[in-house]
Structure 1
Amino acid sequence: MKVLKTIDRRNFIKQSGLLMSTALVPISGFSMTSLKKYKMGLQLFTIRDAMERDPLGSLKTVASLGYEDLETYGYDSDQGTYYGFKAAEFKQVLADLQLTTSSGHYSLFTYLNKPLDALKQYVDRCIEGAHAVGQSYITWPWLDPDSRTLEKFRILSEKLNIVGEQVTKAGLGFAYHNHDFEFIDQGGETGYDIILRETDPSLVKLQMDLYWVMHSSKESPAELIAKQPGRYVMWHVKDMDKITRDYTELGNGSIDYTVILPEASRAGLEYYFLEQGGNYAKNSMQSITDSAAYFKKHLQKYL
C-alpha cells in the first residue's frame, strides 16, 4: 500500500495560489475580459484643414486621442504621395505613431465619364498606393452632381464591377461609399437600388455612411443590412444636429447609435471610421477630440 506524501498547510496554500494565478494568465491572446474587435478609426477628411497646415502634427494629435486606424483621402496618384509624404514614408510615419490605415477614398469618380482604359490606369496607381501604405480597401467615395441620373447609376454599376474585379485580383477589397443622393426617388427607383441590384457583392462591397442613411434613406441601417447581410464591410459614424440636421459632434445629435452599432456582425463590419464633414462647434481638431471622448465612453463597448 502506497503512502500519500503529506503536504503541509504552507505548501498547500503556496501551490494553490500558484495554480490560481496561472489560471488567470491570458493564454494565446485570450483574456478574462471581452476582446475588442475593432480599432477606433477616423476619416481624415474630418480634419482636412489641419492636415493641410500641419499633417505630421495633426497625426500626432490624432494618435494621442486614442484613434488607431485611419481612412485617407486626396491621394496624389501622379506623385505617389499622401499629404505630401511618399507612400512608403507615410506608412512609416503612421507606424511610428502606432497608427494604421485600412481604407482610402480615391478620386475614382473623376473617371466615370472617361474612357475605360483611363479609369483602369488610374486604378492601377491607386492599387500601388494602397499596397504601399498597407490598406485593405480602395473606396469609391462620390459622384458629381451631373452623374446622378438613373442612367448614370447603371453606368456606374457596370464600372464598379470592373474596378472591383481589378482591385480584387490585386489582393485588395473594393467598396462604394454612399451620401444622400443615392436615396433620391427617381420615378419609383433610386440610384442605390441600382447599385444593390447590378453590382456583384463578391467584387463590390459597401461602406455605409450611417449619417446619410439616417438623413435621407426611407430604410434604416438595419433594414438595408437585412437585404444584403455581410456586404457592409465599413461604416462612417457621425451624428446629426437635432434641429438643422447638419453634421455635429457625436453625442450632440439625434442618431441613436446604441441601436445601430449592434448590427455590426450581421453587416459584416470590418472597419469603422468616425467622421464629421463640417459644422464644427469650435474647430475640426476639437470636434475629433469631443467625438472620440464620447465614443469611448458610451459607444465603443458595442464594437
Structure 2
Amino acid sequence: MDRRRFLRYSGAAVTSSLLLPSGLAQAFTASKQEYKLGYQLYSVNKDMQRSPWSTLLALKDMGYRDFEVFGFEPDSVSYYGLSAKDFKRTLDELGLTASSGHYGFAPYLAKSQAEMDAFVAQCLKGAKKLETPFITWPWMAPEQRTLDTFKRLPDILNRIGEQVSKAGLQFAYHNHGFEFEIVDPHTGQSGYDMVLNQTDPDLVKMQMDMYWVSHAAKTTPKALVEKYPGRFVMWHIKDMDKVSRDYTELGNGSIDYPSVLPNPSESGLRYYYIEQGGNFASSPLESAAASAAYFKAHLASHF
C-alpha cells in the first residue's frame, strides 16, 4: 500500500534523488558543505516501527531530507524490521539519505573487549550498507553514570574510534546532561571534560545536543565551540518546555535558538538533526511538522 502511494510522488522523488550526493567519498570530500534538513528518527520511533515507508514519506513532505537512524538490531543487521540493504533501498527510492546512526554501545560496558569489538563490527556492517558516514554513541544507563565509568570511558571511545576509522567511517559521542553533573573532585573535570580532553580528536568526534547543554546550564554551545573548534561535527536541535523543562516543539520552549546556535564552520559542522524525544503536543509526526516549519522560518538562514 505504501509503495502504491509513492507513485503519486515519484516524479518529485526521482528529481530530488538525482540532485543528492551519493556514496561516502562525496560525503567526506565535499568542498562546500550543503546542509539538508535532518531529523533524528528516535523522535518518530513508533511510527517507524509500524511503517518506515509512510513515515519517511510524511517527513519528506515536511521538508526533511536526511536522517539519523535508531533501533539497530546487531544480530540481523537490520533497522525498523528491514535488513540494512532493504532500508537503504527504501531511502533511495524516496530520494532521502541517512548520515548517522545511534547504536547501543552502553550494554557492552559490562562485557568483554572482544564482545564490544564484535558489536562494533556489526554496527559497521549496517552503517556501510546505509552509507552513513558516522556511527554515534548515544547514551548510558543511569547506573553506568559514575565517575569510575568516565575515568575509563575515553580509552573505550578511542578504541572504538580507531576500529571505525580503520573501516573508513567516523565515530562520534552524543552528550546528555549527566556528563556535566559528574565531577572528579581531584581535578575538577566533569565527565564531559574527560571525554573532550582525553579522547583523540581524529578518532572521536562530538555530536552536541544543544537541549542537554542548555538543560545542564554549565556552559553554552557557543562556548564549547570556541574552546574546541572543529570538534562538534553534528548537532541535535530540540527545544525545552518553559515549565517542565521537558522536550517540546521548536519555538514553543525556552531556548532562544537564533542567539544560541554557534557558527557552523567554527564548529566543524557536517550534519544537524532536529529531535523531540517525547512530550508531543499531539503526535510525534505533528510535532515534527511544527518544528520543521519553525526551523524554516527562523533558523534555516543560520546555515
Tell whether the structures are fold-level matches, with TM greater than 0.5. Answer: yes
Partner of 1:30: none
Partner of 2:280: 280
Partner of 1:105: 102
The aligned runs of 1:178-257 (5 Å cut-off) are 178-186=175-183, 187=185, 188-257=188-257
Residues 226 and 133 (structure 1), Cα distance of their counterparts in 2 relative to 1, 3 Å cut: same
Partner of 2:75: 78
- The superposition leaves residues 7-40 of structure 1 with CA deviations (integer Å, 9 ceiling, x where unpaired) of xxxxxxxxxxxxxxxxxxxxxxxxxxxx982000
- The superposition leaves residues 51-98 of structure 1 with CA deviations (integer Å, 9 ceiling, x where unpaired) of 122222111101111100000011111011111111111111001111
The aligned runs of 1:60-209 (5 Å cut-off) are 60-186=57-183, 187=185, 188-209=188-209
Residues 283 and 227 (structure 1), Cα distance of their counterparts in 2 relative to 1, 3 Å cut: same
TM-score by structure 2 length?
Answer: 0.86
TM-score by structure 1 length?
Answer: 0.86
For 1:106, the aligned partner's letter is Y
Secondary structure of residue in 2 paired with 1:112? helix
Secondary structure of residue in 1 paired with 2:95? coil
Secondary structure of residue in 2 paired with 1:297? helix
For 1:199, the aligned partner's letter is T
Identical residues among aligned pairs (%): 51
Question: Could you tell me whether the CA contact under 8 Å between 1:147 and 1:153 is conserved in 2?
Answer: no
Secondary structure of residue in 2 paired with 1:175? strand
Question: Could you tell me whether the CA contact under 8 Å between 1:262 and 1:302 is conserved in 2?
Answer: no
Partner of 1:11: none
* Displaced runs of 4 or more, over 4 A: none
Q: CA deviation at 1:185?
A: 4.4
Structure 1 distance, partners of 2:201, 2:148, is 20
Structure 2 distance, partners of 1:294, 1:135, is 27
Partner of 1:260: 260
Partner of 2:54: 57
For 1:216, the aligned partner's letter is A
Structure 2 distance, partners of 1:50, 1:93, is 15
Q: CA deviation at 1:146?
A: 1.6
Structure 2 distance, partners of 1:164, 1:36, is 23
Q: CA deviation at 1:260?
A: 2.8
Partner of 2:8: none
Residues 226 and 36 (structure 1), Cα distance of their counterparts in 2 relative to 1, 3 Å cut: closer
The aligned runs of 1:3-82 (5 Å cut-off) are 37-82=34-79
For 2:89, the aligned partner's letter is Q
Structure 1 distance, partners of 2:60, 2:248, is 21
- The superposition leaves residues 240-270 of structure 1 with CA deviations (integer Å, 9 ceiling, x where unpaired) of 1112111100011111111233421111000
Structure 1 distance, partners of 2:249, 2:260, is 17
Residues 217 and 170 (structure 1), Cα distance of their counterparts in 2 relative to 1, 3 Å cut: farther
Question: Could you tell me whether the CA contact under 8 Å between 1:153 and 1:191 is conserved in 2?
Answer: yes
5+ unaligned residues in a row in structure 2: which ranges? 1-31
Structure 1 distance, partners of 2:169, 2:260, is 27
For 1:151, the aligned partner's letter is D
Partner of 1:31: none
Larger C-alpha radius of gyration, 1 or 2? 1
> CA-atom RMSD, angstroms?
1.2
Structure 1 distance, partners of 2:265, 2:142, is 34
Query: Greater CA deviation, 180-189 or 272-281?
Result: 180-189
